[in-house]
Structure 1
Amino acid sequence: MPVYAADPADPADHDALLDHFLDTHDDWDSWRPWSDDLAYATHETQTLRIERHHSAPATETAWTIAAYATPVSDRMWHLTATGATPTPMLQKLLHDLADGYGWDTAVGQSLDEASVTAATQPAADAGWKHTVQGRWIHWTAPNGEAGIQFDAFAAQRPNGALPTWLLWAGPTIDQPTWEIAASTHTPSTLLANLVETLAHGAVARPTTPLTPHAHQHTTPLPALPATAAKRTSSRPL
């Protein structure tokens, strides 16, 4: 059955996924702040950062990915995922970050129609319903249990609080089981690969719906100082 119909992921699965990623990618380092609820991973360039919230509820932000042009510059783009996001979606995300898809973005340029089309092509290929509702463009699975939302208003305000992209699954977009939200300049290749997994990926387990929630999105992660990527604790993630 489709990835979006999978059982909500267990937080332990998310932690194990991040541990495996760090164990198999020497160009990433991990560190902890004062709170045991949080863990961070940073690429050796100090321009790509992962924040993992271990105790986040299933319907709130448990992952934040942020990219920077330099270690001390403003953020280029960011992406968040809630605690119930299926493991295959996060596996694909981490795989693409490791393969360098986190940097193929045009900073300072407007998001054009070609980029939107490229990001959503896998959904179109899967026959997902395409609709326009005011400022929002939707691609929805045939059974209505998953979709993609593009917010044209948010796309014109890349530094705003609203996400430009929303990948979701659940009863409705307003009552999602899980969601991935992304900012305007999130690379279209990265988005397209996530959409491909959402639309065409398969798993074996059925869905267990969760309680509806209001969308949760984290505040911007600050740019990293030159020393921030060093490991500050020997404790494993």
Structure 2
Amino acid sequence: MVDLQTPERNSRPAKSDGKNPMATHRILIIEDDRSLADVLDYNLTQDGYETSVASDGQDGLTQAKLHGPDLVLLDLMLPVIDGLEICRRLRADPVTRGSLVLMLTAKAEETDQVAGFSVGADDYVTKPFSVKVLLERVRALLRRKRGARDDGDTLVSQGIMLDRERHRVTAGDSVLDLTPSEFGLLEALIRQPGRVFSRSELIDAALGGDALVLERTIDVHVRALRKKMAGHAHLVETVRGLGYRFRDPVGAA
């Protein structure tokens, strides 16, 4: 279901050098369906974004490393390298680990969505979809990222330091390579130590009220966050039947 403008021959905005000087964000589209890629490219360009397109996984990774996009629209079923593996590599590379990843796929099962979030996706949209709704999801993700960058405070608790201006987290002497969603989750928890957050509250606080994700997705993010926190993992506590909280230093032994 594509409900917005489809590019017509000779109607596409000119891109003389591949860049839009008015664009505020770079978006990489990795999609092997040429007609869909063209529709996405056209509508995103019309919305003011600087775009690039790759039709297979290897080309997508190459372009991501070259351009360091703010957001990647990533199909899962791709030739050469599949979308899940691409997401893993994006998160492992210093150039792209901070890029937002919005997965586009025909795989609509809950297990598929959990698998996508477990490798670091920030949002998950199933096909067929409304391009208008997709554009709103893109805007919501980029607003969340911009909000984190604009607020320059630093949070420190029990060996964890979260620097919003630099989008950097350290645990002791180690720098944690967090995805934007993991960063948002940790920030929500560390701001109010001792407070129990339900999963739905964490979706709103960490992923943004515009995110349409499963509550179970928070469990996936928490597991990934704890793994990266290593010796500090115990600071993110599970409250059985309720949700999660950051350990209260006042009540800690």
Q: Which TM class, normalised by the smaller chain length?
A: 0.3 to 0.5
Q: Which is helix-richer, 1 or 2?
A: 2
Normalising by structure 1, what TM-score? Answer: 0.33
Q: Which is strand-richer, 1 or 2?
A: 1
- Structure of higher CA gyration radius: 2
Normalising by structure 2, what TM-score? Answer: 0.31
